[in-house]
Every structure is written in C-alpha cells, then in structure tokens.
Amino acid sequence: MLTIIEALPRIRLGFFPTPLMEARHLSSVLGGPRIIIKREDLSGLALGGNKCRKLEFILAEAKRQGADAVISTASSQSNFCLQLAAAGRKLGMKPSFVLVKGAHVETQGNLLLHDILDSDVEILEISKIEDIFSGVVSERMDGVADDLRAKGYKPFIMRHTLPDISAILGIVGWVDAADELVTQLKEQNIEAHYVVLANGGGGTQAGLFLGSKYLEARYQVIGISVLRNRDDAIPAVVAQAEAASDYLRLDIAVKSDEVEVNDSYIGKGYGIPTKESVDAIRLVAQTEGIFLDPVYTGKAMAGLIDLVKKGCFKSMETVVFIHTGGIPALFAYHEEITNRGSNKRH
C-alpha cells in the first residue's frame, strides 16, 4: 500500500482486495479481447460497490471530528447514500439525506433499503441532476444539520464537490484501489492494456487514474460517462486527480489529454437506461451470471461492447472492466429492463 495512504485514518468497512474474475464466456461471445471483471460489486458493505473504499476514509474523518450523524445528497436511487446509510448504522451514526428526484422515487431499490435502514430521507424536485452540486441542495443539508444539532447530534455533512474533505478522501479511496489493482495484476501475471469503468461525478476515475499514473501502470484508463459530456467530464477528472495529488503530496501533474472519457453512451440522460445498456445487462448476466446496474455499469458495459465491436481493442489485448456495483437499483428499474432491449439468451 502507498505509505502515505497507510498513514491516514481509515475504518475498515469492506473486504479487500475485491476479486479479479476472468469473463471468458463474455469475451468469446463478443469475439474480442480478454475481459477481466474487477468485482467491486463484492466489496462487502451493504450490497457492494465503489463507495465502500471512499467511505472507509470519509467516515474515519467524520468520526475523528466526533460526528454521530451523517448527511449527504445525490439522486433518489443513489448508491453512495445507501452505502453511507449502511456504514453509518454500522458505526452508530444517524443517516439523513436530501435526495434529488430522479427516475425512481418509489420505495424500491435503494429507497427500499433506506426504509429498512430507517434513514431520514427527503426528496427535492430540481430541474437538472447536475444541480445536486448547487446552492439549494447544499442549503437544505445545512438546514437538516441545524435540526439535528438542536436535537443534540453532531452531524457531519458529506458534499461531493471540491474542496470538501469528503470529496478528496473519496478520491483517495480510489488511489488506493489503483494500488490494489496494480498489485493484483502483478501477482496474477496479467498484463492489462485498458481499464474501463463508469464515470459519474468522476472521483472514482480520478483516483484510479492518479494512482495508476503514480505507480507507472501501463494500462489506459477509459471512463464511460453516464452524466456529463466529455468537455465537462475531463476537466472534472483532472481537477479531482490534482486535488488528491496535492492532498497526498504525490507531486503528479495531470493533463487533460491524458484523461480519456467517452460520452457516447449516455443516451437520453443520467438514470435513463438505453436499449444498449439493457442488452449489456442481459448479456453479462446470461454469459457470466453477473448482474450489472441500470444507471452506471450497464452503460459502461454497453460502451465496452461497442468499442469491442468497433475494433478498438486487439484480440490479444486485455481489458479490465470495473464492476462498480449499484445492483439494488435494478429492482426499481424493472419496467425499463423488461420493456427495453432484446431478451436473447446467449
């Protein structure tokens, strides 16, 4: 492990390293490169996903500050908020959320799990999901914090934007993941050429990119955007990678032209499955017995499949696909999944 990360406060919440799984059947059906899936969906906290690593550092900071309640925001089926609620409960911290209305607000998927966890959830209606980072949501979180303080709690608000310490520590979690991946590849004698993953806010890609660059990994990291266009997503990754580099004193400069984000697979917008993403979810389930999610990994896999079809990878090359989790949302999206895509058996 990078010694500087080893020295940071951390609360263990997951089971690491997450496995690398050879997706032989998928590779052969696609007639493409060797595909290896990093099973971050098996990270162990609640129903798994990429937030567990982030939260190990963020919640250590919250505890260090003496917090006994956590507050955050994201879309109504947010995997981050669900994982935070579960970790909060485990650590004896009351979870409260100001969520923003997305495609699904019924008590299904992650909202069903919040119900079981007894999270305090309120759902705001705002026009664009990007406004999650804006004043109105932030102000409402401050209001929830005031209410909690009045009841004797010491709340910790987790914001997703720089320079908030939670945003930086989340990226640090993924610098650590790069270290884990590089070690696994070496131990298993795998030469990876590409690493493909979903890009939402971009913190996961930023951390993975930064850690991989610092460790001089030879693979290229490709983010498949589910939210922003390339022109916005790349600067967001660069800014987050630089912030984490400064925080960890890695002295790594990150240039825009080193960061690859493909925005061709967003479809109609964040949280709206495309036909190709539903097909990708079915293909991976029917070839590998693995469930992807409808908001992030389904679209990232649709991107990977299309890039394979376009001949972007040689058959001798190896692609690592990071399964970043999100599976609970599948149940909220049952209609889109049953009505869209082709139901072929592979």
Catalytic positions are 78
Nearest-5° Cα angle at 266, 231 to 23 = 110
Q: How far apart are CA 105 and CA 94, in angstroms?
A: 22
Please identify which residue in 43, 72, 166, 204 interacts with ligand PLP, judged by CB under 6 A. Answer: 204
Q: How far is the CB of 281 from ligand PLP (least distance, A)?
A: 13
Q: Both tokens of residue 273? A: 């499955």
User: What is the nearest approach in angstroms of ligand PLP to the Cβ of residue 324?
Assistant: 3
Give the pair of three-digit tokens for residue 10. Answer: 């951390």
Compare residues 84 and 148 and give the one whose CB is closer to ligand PLP. 84
Q: Which of 102, 271, 325, 328 binds ligand PLP (CB under 6 A)?
A: 325
Residue 202 found at the interface with ligand PLP (CB under 6 A): yes
- Of the candidate spans 86-94, 96-104, 145-153, 291-299, the one that interacts with ligand PLP by CB under 6 A turns out to be 291-299
Q: Does 201 bind ligand PLP (CB under 6 A)?
A: yes
Determine the angle formed by the axes of helices 275-288 and 297-309, rounding to 10 degrees. Answer: 90
Verify binding: residue 200, ligand PLP, rule CB under 6 A: yes
Give every strand in the sheet of 318-322, ordered side by side.
Answer: 20-22, 34-38, 318-322, 194-199, 220-225, 260-262
Strands (E), the chain: 20-22, 34-38, 69-75, 94-100, 120-124, 155-158, 194-199, 220-225, 260-262, 318-322
Nearer to ligand PLP, 236 or 283 (CB): 236
Span 140-199, contacts to ligand PLP by CB under 6 A = 198-199
Please, what is the minimum distance in Å from the beta carbon of residue 136 to ligand PLP?
20
DSSP single-letter state for residue 296: T
Nearest to ligand PLP of 24, 334 (CB atom): 334
Q: How far is CA 42 from CA 37, 130, 303, in A?
A: 11, 28, 22
Q: Which of residues 16-75 bind ligand PLP (CB under 6 A)?
A: 49-50
* Cβ-contact 129, 232 below 8 angstroms: no
Which residues of the chain form contacts with ligand PLP (CB under 6 A)? 49-50, 79-80, 198-205, 293, 296-297, 324-326
